[in-house]
Amino acid sequence: VFSKVTPALVDRLRAIVGAGNVELDDLEPYSHDYTEDFRFPPEVAVRPRTTEEVARVVRLANDALVPVTAQGGRTSLSGGALCVHGGIALSLERMNRIVEVDAENLFAVVEPAVITQALQEEVEKRGLFYGPDPASRGSCTLGGNVAHCAGGPRALKYGVTKDWVTGLVAVLPSGEVIRTGGKLMKNVTGYNLTQLLVGSEGTLAVVTEITLKLIPLPKFRRTMLAPFPDLVSAARAVTRIFDARIVPCCVEFMDRAAVEAAEKRKAASFPAKGAATLLVEVDGNDEALLEREAERVGEACVAEGAPDVFLAMDEEQRRFIWDLRRSIGEAVKSLAPYKEEDTVVPRARLPELVAAVEEVSRRHGLTAVSYGHVGDGNLHVNILKLGVTEEEWRTRVPAAVREIFERTLALGGQITGEHGVGYVQREFLPMAYPEHQIELMRELKRVFDPKGILNPGKILPDGSERRPFGRRG
């Protein structure tokens, strides 16, 4: 249904963004994100610098019926940034300025390709704090975070991206520009288009500017590692920590295989580890109170079977632990071909989810490595292609994934907590919602994007879904 990129269209793109920002030769970087080993080369990659240039590119594509896929850091784990129908990769990489840090009103205004960690560090220099902290923070962008409503370890105390976005500038497929919200803590003027666009995975509009709330930087942190003899007791300890009336800023879960993968990749060793390990961090402004909280976290972990709890003595030890933790995602993915699920359940149902994942993968003869932000009920399950034949992989994985999702949904959970539906989960959307609800989403998509040119092939099933274990596009 889509048209191809023609030489005449390329000329017009060059006229908009400059010849040096239209890429036809080296399209490899634009042809993949972090999702399995998919490769979908666009026909052309375009690097606009301003909202006006984005608007002109998108309008041109809409008129010509050519697909446009916005790309940030291309760290998506759901195939969000893949150009599955070819067309134009709209890389925002040159729109990477922190426009303003407004310390008086506690807001930041940024262009979409600002790297998440760059904003965190910039505001921290001024004693301020931006909450969302995806483990990919060194390479993902705030525009991608908005599109996926990224979470990360600190979400349980500080919320996910949607809780920090108060305004957007966005380009509609027609090329019209909308401005939603602003530096406003309150705003109920009409429908909440800001929050409709957050998490819309680049399928409704291209975000070209983001206004984010900030808060004062918490002064102190205490970071602990608690090893457990089995997965379920670690999951139980999470609830016990909250029962002690403590809200940590992070509770990360790592099974033994995840820990070992990170250790191997970094050639370093976690100071404490078990069959399952929790990384718990508390933060605040009252150091004495924090010491007591850390002690109570330790007691809760010991009560659930942790033989002892390691407390990071200084910032260097803390950084060392977090560096290892943040390397897990890539370390696990480098072990073998994988299929990752991003399950999320109400926190107290975690022990059941952890047990279900163990049971399902064992029964199907598959190796699953689990880790995640369990403080907010989010467990990443990586099924690895280890010790199985090609045929076993092809037949067992789809059945196991479906079962894991069934069990997750039965626990009151959902099939993705922060990675998005994207390309790889859309065939499972009918497990999550009834048809009339999916149809409502299709209607919303048609209102924004009647010709369907923005990031086609994502979120909404259209009958052409791939097999969940597919290897290449």
Among 22, 46, 57, 81, the residue binding ligand FAD under the rule CB under 6 A is 81
Does 74 engage in binding with ligand FAD (CB under 6 A)?
Answer: yes
- In this structure, the number of other CB atoms found within 10 A of the CB of residue 143 comes to 27
Binding mask 119-138 for ligand FAD (x = CB under 6 A): ---------------xxx--
Q: Which is nearer to ligand FAD, 73 or 468 (CB)?
A: 73
- Cα(469)–Cα(400) distance, integer angstroms: 11
Distance in angstroms (rounded) separating the CA atoms of residues 306 and 234:
8
Residue 84: CB minimum distance to ligand FAD, A:
11
Residue (241 or 331) nearer to ligand FAD, CB: 331
Q: Token pair for residue 214?
A: 């900030």
Is 456 a binding residue for ligand FAD by CB under 6 A? The answer is: no
CA distance linking residue 460 with residue 433, whole number of Å: 11
Q: Residue 63 in contact with residue 82, Cβ under 8 Å?
A: no
Give the residue, chosen from 329, 452, 457, 468, that forms a contact with ligand FAD under the rule CB under 6 A.
329
| Sole window of 198-206, 294-302, 438-446, 461-469 interacting with ligand FAD (rule: CB under 6 A) | 198-206
Find the largest Cα–Cα distance for the chain: 69
Determine, following the binding rule CB under 6 A, whether residue 48 of this chain makes contact with ligand FAD. Answer: no
The binder of ligand FAD chosen from 330, 352, 358, 465 (CB under 6 A): 330
Least distance (Å) from ligand FAD to the CB of residue 335?
13
- What is the spatial distance between Cα 228 and Cα 162, in angstroms, rounded to a whole number? 33
CA atoms within 13 A on the CB side of 112: 32
User: To the nearest whole angstrom, how small is the minimum distance from the Cβ of residue 341 to ligand FAD?
Assistant: 13
Stretch that binds ligand FAD, among 148-156, 270-278, 286-294, 399-407 (CB under 6 A): 148-156
Q: Does residue 223 touch ligand FAD according to CB under 6 A?
A: no
Q: Does 206 bind ligand FAD (CB under 6 A)?
A: yes
Under the binding rule (CB under 6 A), the answer on residue 92 touching ligand FAD is yes
CA distance 93 to 85: 21
Residues 272/308, Cβ–Cβ less than 8 Å: yes
Binding test (CB under 6 A) with ligand FAD, winner from 36, 43, 93, 201:
201
Using rule CB under 6 A, residue 148 touches ligand FAD: yes
- Cβ atoms within 10 A of the Cβ of 253, count? 26
**Could you count the other beta carbons within 10 Å of the beta carbon of residue 436?**
7
CB of 473 to ligand FAD, least distance (A): 15
Say whether residue 207 binds ligand FAD (CB under 6 A): yes
By CB under 6 A, residue 343 contacts ligand FAD: no
- Which tokens sit at 381? 């399950």
C-alpha to C-alpha distance for 262 and 271, rounded to whole angstroms: 13
Residue from 31, 51, 62, 76 binding ligand FAD (CB under 6 A): 76
Task: Please choose, out of 58-66, 144-152, 252-260, 442-450, the segment that lies near ligand FAD by the rule CB under 6 A.
Answer: 144-152
Among 18-26, 68-76, 242-250, 300-308, which window interacts with ligand FAD (CB under 6 A)? Answer: 68-76
Tell me the sheet residues that pair with 378.
Answer: 344
- State the residue number with the nearest CB to ligand FAD: 144
202 binds ligand FAD (CB under 6 A): yes
Q: Which amino acid is at 314?
A: D
Q: One symbol per residue from 396 to 425: x for binding ligand FAD (CB under 6 A), - otherwise; what is it?
A: ----------------------xx------
In the complex with ligand FAD, the residue whose CB is nearer, 77 or 128, is 77
Shortest reach from residue 277's CB to ligand FAD, in Å:
17
Parallel, antiparallel or unpaired: strands 88-91 and 44-46: parallel
Q: How far apart are CA 129 and CA 44, in angstroms?
A: 38
The one segment of 58-66, 72-80, 175-183, 224-232 that binds ligand FAD by CB under 6 A: 72-80
Binding flag, residue 167, ligand FAD (CB under 6 A): no
Burial degree of 387 (CB within 10 A; 0-12, 13-18, 19+): exposed
Instruction: Give the span between the Cα atoms of 331 and 322, in whole angstroms.
Output: 14
CB–CB of 418/160 below 8 Å? yes
DSSP 334: T
Q: Which of 42, 48, 67, 72 touches ligand FAD by CB under 6 A?
A: 72
- Please measure the distance between the N-terminal and C-terminal CA atoms of the chain and give it in whole angstroms: 18
Q: Does 80 bind ligand FAD (CB under 6 A)?
A: yes
- Residue 58 in contact with ligand FAD, rule: CB under 6 A: no
Structural tokens at position 75: 């760290």
Q: Among candidates 134, 171, 137, 172, which has minimal Cα distance to 154?
A: 134
In three state form, how does the secondary structure of 242-288 look?
A: HHCCCCCCEEEEEEHHHHHHHHHHHCCCCCCCCCEEEEEEEEECCHH
We find the least distance from the C-beta atom of residue 66 to ligand FAD, in angstroms, to be 15
128 DSSP β-pair partners: 216
| List of residues contacting ligand FAD (CB under 6 A) | 33-34, 69-77, 80-81, 92, 112, 134-136, 140-141, 143-145, 147-148, 150-152, 201-202, 206-207, 329-330, 418-419, 455
